[in-house]
A and B are shown apart, each in its own frame.
Chain A
Amino acid sequence: MVFSSELIKGTLKTIVLKLLTDNDKMYGYEITQRVKELTTDKIQITEGALYPTLHALENEGLLTTETEYIGKRVRKYYSLSPAGKTRTQERVSEFADFMETMQFLLDIKTKLA
């Protein structure tokens, strides 16, 4: 099963930020592949959603970039800025809270219980 893009849209920033916490620097294609790999293809980030998000995060000062020339093309690596690191923690714990609330709201029984 692949999750709908609507579900992913609200969490894409958090996903990107968290991935960059665990990996020093990543480029766009690498991010999509890593997410696919980690979620066994359940979450597939589209290019149309990823790049706008990366640009927005960079504009907000949460990401820093460096470029690397590979022959004729340029690869842009993204990494977390200090502000981005704090923001990641905030967003992850915000999302944890959100999940708890949703569990309660939608009356989802956890597997363990």
Chain B
Amino acid sequence: MYCITEQQIEYILNDIRRNGVEMEDLQLNLLDHVCCIVEQELEEDDDFERFYHEVIKQFYKKELHEIEEETINLLTFKNYYTMKKLMIISGIVSATAFVIGSFFKIMAWQGTILFLMVAMGIFSFIFLPLLVVLKVKETDSARNKIVLVIAATVGVLYSMGTLFVAMQWHGGTALLFATVGTSAFLLIPTYFFTGIRNAETKVNTIVTTVLMVGATGLMFTLVRVHQPLPMQTYTYLKNEQLLRKMQRDTGAQSATANKVAVEINTCCEQIKHIILSKDLAEVVPVDFEQKDIIIHERSVNFPETSEAYRLLAQLKNAIDTYNVQIGTDDKISVSHTILDIPHEDLRKCTNFFVLNSLTQIQLSLVSNEPHPVVMK
């Protein structure tokens, strides 16, 4: 039996490491195995290095780290079924959430957003990544793997972009732009030049490429290239400015003249404050013209328990009382204002509609006050 030296053991271990075997467990297994062969088969006066290199060659077909790759493959294969199961479950959950969310949207029920967010979140961050991991494992060519990864990235960008735009979060348009850009300049060229080389997939590649160009073009048509001016904000703020000017002019009289009028004004201001504090986190400053204030259109939500809902009811009562006291010509008309909307339809109203309604009520109130100029 050949007696192997410590230097030789060191030599073998270093060679195994140098050839790309990184798992320590595997290194030690292979080292012991080689040592056993050397001890059993090498004669005392044979050349150790030459013998070692001949032995190690029998361990692999092309390179030694094949063994490690095969080990990793077998180890992850165990998770393969779990991943596949999870992928299918996440796919079903996200599809179901989409269907339920869409139904809620048609019925204008509450919870639509929650369902759609869950659907898009699971689709983008569980389903698509798992699909890529599993498909990449099944695909041999590196080019196809790249195409898969890019395609999934476009998918995630698209669904996130849609979600951001639907929720009116910042960056929605940028995400959709990124989707169109990645699709047009990365996905389509890579896909096309990968598939066109192969005679078998040539026709399919051309057809699918045309479809992808079409889809990307349609998406680009929908993306707002230029942001529109915030005209709704301008209109509201100008009305508000006008109201304040008129209130200032008639200020002295209205403060004391009518308790009901004061109540109407207070209610309107409070409701507006509730809405604006969500949009701007502050009240509209007097010098708003110098600042870049943009209010984004959104639906308001006044559940029956909310302060705003209570204030609306109080406002309605106050206006009824006011209209009884005042002459026929000066009555405040509430038709086509927020007070005219049935309770179940309140959530269909936008913030601008509510804000403008209230300002208009206040304007008609202040226009009933005796104007100082007219008095003179």
Residue of B nearest to A60 (CB): B78
On chain A, the residues within 8 Å of B210 by CB distance are none
Residue of A nearest to B24 (CB): A74
Partner of B73, one of A28, A52, A72, A73: A52
Mark each residue of chain B from 42 to 86: 1 if its CB lies under 8 Å from any CB of chain A, else 0.
Answer: 000000000000000011110000110011011101100000000
On chain B, the residues within 8 Å of A71 by CB distance are 6, 9
Indicate if B36 sits at the interface (CB-CB under 8 A).
yes
Are A73 and B70 CB-contacts (below 8 A) given A29-B37, A46-B58, A59-B75?
Answer: no
Q: Is there contact, CB below 8 Å, between A76 and B59? A: no
Task: Give the dominant DSSP class at A's interface.
Answer: helix
Q: 8 Å CB contacts to B: which residues of A7-35?
A: 27-29, 32
On chain B, the residues within 8 Å of A76 by CB distance are 25, 28-29, 32
Q: Is there contact, CB below 8 Å, between A47 and B6? A: no
Q: 8 Å CB contacts to B: which residues of A57-83?
A: 59-60, 70-76
Q: Is there contact, CB below 8 Å, between B74 and A47? A: no
A56 to B194, CA, bound (A): 35
Q: Is there contact, CB below 8 Å, between A56 and B75? A: yes
Residue of A nearest to B36 (CB): A29
Residue of A nearest to B26 (CB): A51
- Nearest Cβ on chain B to A4's Cβ, whole angstroms: 14
- Which size class do A's interface residues fall under? 20 to 34
Residue of B nearest to A13 (CB): B74
Mark each residue of chain B from 4 to 35: 1 if its CB lies under 8 Å from any CB of chain A, else 0.
Answer: 00100110000000000001011011111101
A52 to B71, CA, bound (A): 4
Q: Is there contact, CB below 8 Å, between B74 and A55? A: yes
On chain B, the residues within 8 Å of A48 by CB distance are 59-61, 66-67, 70
Q: Is there contact, CB below 8 Å, between A29 and B75? A: no
Q: Is there contact, CB below 8 Å, between A56 and B9? A: no
A27 to B25, CA, bound (A): 13
Q: Is there contact, CB below 8 Å, between A55 and B26? A: yes
- Nearest Cβ on chain B to A2's Cβ, whole angstroms: 13
On chain B, the residues within 8 Å of A75 by CB distance are 32
- Nearest Cβ on chain A to B184's Cβ, whole angstroms: 43
Mark each residue of chain B from 229 to 263: 1 if its CB lies under 8 Å from any CB of chain A, else 0.
Answer: 00000000000000000000000000000000000
A27 to B28, CA, bound (A): 12
Partner of A72, one of B6, B37, B61, B75: B6
Q: Is there contact, CB below 8 Å, between A29 and B32? A: yes
Residue of B nearest to A57 (CB): B74
Report which A residues bind B (CB closer than 8 A).
Answer: 27-29, 32, 46-49, 51-56, 59-60, 70-76
Given contacts A55-B71, A72-B10, 6 further A-B contacts (CB under 8 A): A48-B59, A51-B67, A56-B71, A73-B32, A76-B25, A76-B28
